[in-house]
Amino acid sequence: MQLCTDLDRAWHEARSYAPDVRTFVANGGIYLGFCLGAFLAGPHRGFSLLPAGDRVQREIRRPNSQVDGIEDTVIQVDWTFSTGKKRGTADNKRWLYFQDGATFILSDGSPTIVLARYSSNHDVAATLNAFGSGWVANIGPHPEADQSWCKFKV
């Protein structure tokens, strides 16, 4: 269970900064969490930057996930584009690098904005939420990754 080891190690390193991170974001700062950074935004072993009741889970443990292991892969994500010219729904689908990334379980009535969902099970893949005067954006997979991240041939 690699993620738990990585999350435990990351939280051990970051825990002392949690009050500063929360204050920075609450005072108008921005937190952007990719993959492990998204887990660190959560309430368990994290900065508690999500709305009350929202939580973070491992996508590979969810029903009907596209993948069930921690190895490097690509995963299809459906993005909700709310600005600019809208194209057909096929243009909203993207294949992204993924390695044991996060999904977000939102509470009933959560103010969190869903930016993307995993294509196979419609779990939440990317979010945006206010925190005090600041903003928190989290993404389970890696849209910033290029082919060099993959240990396999595409």
| Average pLDDT value for residue range 95-107 | 93
Residue 6 clears pLDDT 90, i.e. is over it? no
| Average pLDDT value for residue range 96-113 | 94
Domain that holds residue 73: 2-82+89-148
Residue, of 82 and 109, whose pLDDT is higher? 109
Task: Note whether residue 76 is domain-resident.
Answer: yes
Q: Look at residue 1 in the predicted model and tell me its pLDDT.
A: 45
Backbone region of residue 120 per phi and psi (left: phi > 0; alpha: psi in -120 to 50; beta: other values): alpha
pTM higher than the cut 0.95: no
Task: Note whether residue 117 is domain-resident.
Answer: yes
pLDDT band at 89 (very low <50, low <70, confident <90, very high): low
- Render pLDDT for 18-27 as a digit per residue (tens, 0 to 9): 999 999 999 9
| Average pLDDT value for residue range 144-154 | 74
Rounded-to-integer distance, Cα 47 and Cα 104, Å: 15
DSSP strand pairing (30-34 vs 134-139): parallel
Residue 7 clears pLDDT 80, i.e. is over it? yes
Residue 141 neighbours by CB distance under 10 Å: 28
Rounded-to-integer distance, Cα 46 and Cα 10, Å: 9
Q: Look at residue 146 in the predicted model and tell me its pLDDT.
A: 84
CATH number for 117: 3.40.50.880
Task: Note whether residue 6 is domain-resident.
Answer: yes
Quick check: helix, strand or coil at residue 39? helix
Task: Note whether residue 154 is domain-resident.
Answer: no
Contacts of residue 102, defined as CB under 8 A and 6 or more positions apart, other chains included, come to: 35, 38, 39, 42, 56, 57, 58, 59, 138, 140
Contacts of residue 89, defined as CB under 8 A and 6 or more positions apart, other chains included, come to: 78
Residue 86 clears pLDDT 60, i.e. is over it? no
Domains of the chain: total: 1
